[in-house]
Amino acid sequence: MALKSISRSIAMRPERTRGYEEKALVLADAGLLNQALAGCKRTEVLGKKKSSRIAEAYVRFRRGEFEEMLECTQSAMSASPKSANLSALNSLALAGLGRVDEAMEEAIKATELHNLEALAWYALANIHLKKDQFDEAIKCLDTGLEADPHYRFSYQLRAAAHRRAGHEVEADSDQSKFDQLQTQFMADLL
């Protein structure tokens, strides 16, 4: 249903870029990464390079392409220096490249810019997990899930943190919640 609504919006106003960006994000979350990237490129063609770079950064994150992701976040930073979402994406790119200290600074900045941004807490938890600071990672994800209990990827990362900390019951519970939300997302997709 989500894709049909977005596609209808695009058909009605093809010159607007927001629909292409939303479609790219939905496709990325569905695992349709090549189609998502094509949607980002369509937005860029329409002349909205900054916003298409943010959407592309998210798609690149899902693809595990951290160099390209960092290029996207860096090019969008000058236009949106106070975006918690963009700072979180920048942190995830830096972390993916092994630049953990820079990633930590950027993730903290993201949580300070907007303490209800689930992706910011996800990024900070990601750094703590890379540093084997499982309890800190879990606390960050708890905070992010309080802000947005529907951000399913936080459950997935928290399951990994619990599993690495030896908390199998909690890990299984979080993985089950992620699976449930992912199944619902996919069902709502069409």
* pLDDT per residue rounded down to tens, the chain (190 residues): 566 776 676 667 766 666 777 788 888 888 888 888 887 776 555 555 556 788 899 999 999 999 999 999 999 888 888 999 999 999 999 999 999 999 999 999 999 999 999 999 999 999 999 999 999 999 999 999 999 999 999 999 999 999 999 999 999 999 999 999 999 988 887 6
Same domain, 13 and 89: no
Q: Do 184 and 99 share a domain, yes or no?
A: yes
Based on the domain organization, do 168 and 143 belong to the same domain?
yes
Of 57, 75, 93, the one marking the end of a domain is 75
**How many domains does one find in the chain?**
2
CB atoms within 10 A of CB 179: 14
Examine the domain organization and report whether 67 and 87 are in the same domain: no
User: What single DSSP character describes residue 40?
Assistant: H
Taking the CA atoms of the chain, what radius of gyration do you get in angstroms? 17
Do 20 and 35 form a contact (C-beta atoms < 8 A)? no
**Residue 51 confidence (pLDDT):** 60
Same domain, 108 and 168: yes
Angstrom distances, CA of residue 143 to CA of 6, 21, 102, 168: 30, 27, 22, 21
Residues 52 and 135 in one domain: no
Residue 130, classified by CB atoms within 10 Å of its CB into exposed (0-12), middle (13-18) or buried (19+), is middle
In the block, tokens 């292409």 appear at 20
Residues 70 and 5 in one domain: yes
Q: How far is CA 38 from CA 49, 65, 182, in A?
A: 14, 15, 23
**Domain assignment of residue 43, given as a range:** 1-75
pLDDT of 127 reads 98
Same domain, 48 and 129: no
Domain identity same for 59 and 96: no
